[in-house]
Structure 1
Amino acid sequence: MTAVPLSVLDLVPVVSGSSSATALHRTLDLARAAERAGYARYWLAEHHLNPGVAGSAPTVVIGAVAAVTSSIRVGSAATLVGNVRGLQIAETFGTLTGLYGPRFDLGLGRSGAPAPGTPKPPSLAPRADQVVDGLLLPAPFDFRVAPGSTFALQGELLGRVPGDVERFDDDLALVRALFAGTWTRGGKVVEAPPATGADVELWIHGSTGGESARVAGSLGLPYGANYHSSPGTVLASVEAYRASFRPGVLDAPRVVVSADVVVGRSAAEAEELALGYGQWVHSIRSGVGAIPYPTPDAARATPLPDEAVAAVRDRLVSRFVGDAAHVADRLEVLRRVTGADELLVTTITHDHAARVRSYELLAAEWARRALAPAA
């Protein structure tokens, strides 16, 4: 087995019967556990208007995580250009670095959700299930952004405009120049303390192998590809990045690939803990916003109808659920097929202690394999 680092992607899920405040405090608890377990990074996602997700202000949470940890790298996956301006992004991460030292990762992504009524592309996704060297690439579910959905309302309240997607390159260049202290206006360098000189690791995140992969590759930046949210496009995404790569910040491509996992002390326990995921993902894709994550009993009592199952099938069949050995086996397949230099795992269960234990069990198994002598 090739030893590659494992990292954490936390969506700050809110579970049924709990609150956003509790979810935020549980994130701090999980971050401490992840650092003890040896995870390399702790990344926060950005979601808005979702009752089942408290990660709407990731940079605030990143600072809180940094305050309760000491060595694990902390960052965003991703800070969405279009939701916030480049100057604010650079100043925020410069401030974090000034407060807690050079261990921050700024992951940038595009906020360009399609306009209401238009299809969201998975442009390079297969139209039917494929299996590549043991890795399932499921056919994607194409959905439309309905007027009045949370997707449409997010765009309205965040002030997005059609040009936000095209502005990505400009904002990226601005952020890089502000960190480097080289941004000029009227022939004069304009500094933006505390961004100037901040040692922040910059990543680009993408799903479909489009412009984000091209930009990351052309600038020689590291790239994050999403198997967990767009499993059918992950190979197209990493292949587009590598094809575009030119030495820049990095001399060679570097890819982190995400995956949804649930690890239990047994396969049966893991399957029980994993219940509720279909209902949770469907609530997001249907446009109503993420529901608080249900208990296994509630999930059994309210099974999804067939058409709803079809709408989330790609996410269900690409989630790795089982004991630590089984999940590690599946992650090794994902690593081998994608050539990932690092794996980013995200786990959601209703029971917080079980969620922490899932990460701990996986880290212990991964470390054991890394130390095992080669066959």
Structure 2
Amino acid sequence: MSRRDLSQLPRFYCGSGAPLPDTAFVALVPGEAAPLLPVSLPDGLKGAARRKVAALRLRDGAGLAASAAEVHPFLTDAKASSTWDRAVVAASEALAGWRAEVTGRPRARALALLPDYLDLPAAKDIATLQMRDDRVLVRLGLSDGFSAEPPLCEAILRRALAATSMRGAVWIGPPSPGIDAVLAAADVPVCTEAQGLKALGLAVPQAQPVMLDLLQDPGAEAQRLQQALRPWRLPAALACLAALTFGGHQAWLGQQAAQEARALRGETEAMLRSAILPTGPILDVRTQVSRALAAAQRPAATDSGPDPLRMFAATADALRAAPDGTEVQAVAFVAGAELAVDLTLASFAAADALLAQLRARGFTASLADASALDGEGVAARLMITGWEPDQ
């Protein structure tokens, strides 16, 4: 069953004591135990590295050990796989209990495990609210949400509306006067049914595909891939041995091709002597031709960008003002005039601060890679692709 069909499935609340449905279902957990939290991530981090850094920052911020909590990236669509900046955090022990409750039983087919606030329909810039068992579930637009008891919900909602603009709000079921007062103070029109939003010309919340499932361990994908490849180790080794044997049998067929290659090389060298490399030995055709062409084009390119030596010197001067704990490991030109700087820093915040310093000095700089070291600190690579010196 596809993710878009989940809205039609029955719901089961973990810990409710109710019997499991006999058909496929969606399991829900209290949103207070699986909050959706923002996380600041450096530019350029993608995939597993982005998830690893997000988990490190959120756990460090809460003072949790790596084994104490799981961090699940929250995506509103597949295109956000490299730009997400929010994650659901839940205690590992609680997750283990929820998973055991909804899996491993006859006819129990939990297709997803979600915080209950993500079960609400949503629309951009619209707040969706629902009272469930003396608790309030809130969805703010497409990318935020939470669950709380009414007094705490009022405080959280008041703070959220101060930072996020909502064009309207709709209740599913009976409203709460105290929460309506918070919405009114923020000038958010409140409707008790979808038709009210339509009359205001606003979007009506719909069931949204959520690219998140707490049934799955976020770090288990690599382990599953490794286990899947393990049975293929022996066949792969035998295949390599067969290839080597076949290669030995075919080696003698290459002798004639080698003679033809030598003849072709002679013709190529003669052409290069007449057109590009009139003197000196020819050792590496590709490298020598590239250098000769670059040398021929260099006079015309001097006005199109900064002088590499001046940019190198300016970079070295800027790095002297780097945050404390920064150590430069290597500096090298790559891809022409781009400068790669490998360094270690005290934290990811120090990497962001160094980027800001470089950009303030006229450098076009970006963070190409960053990862936490086993002990303390961060290893990072900065790419400097341009520099505009102060006139």
What is the TM-score normalised by the length of structure 2?
A: 0.23
TM-score relative to the length of structure 1: 0.24
Q: Which has the larger radius of gyration?
A: 2
Higher relative contact order (CA 8 A, sep 6+): 1
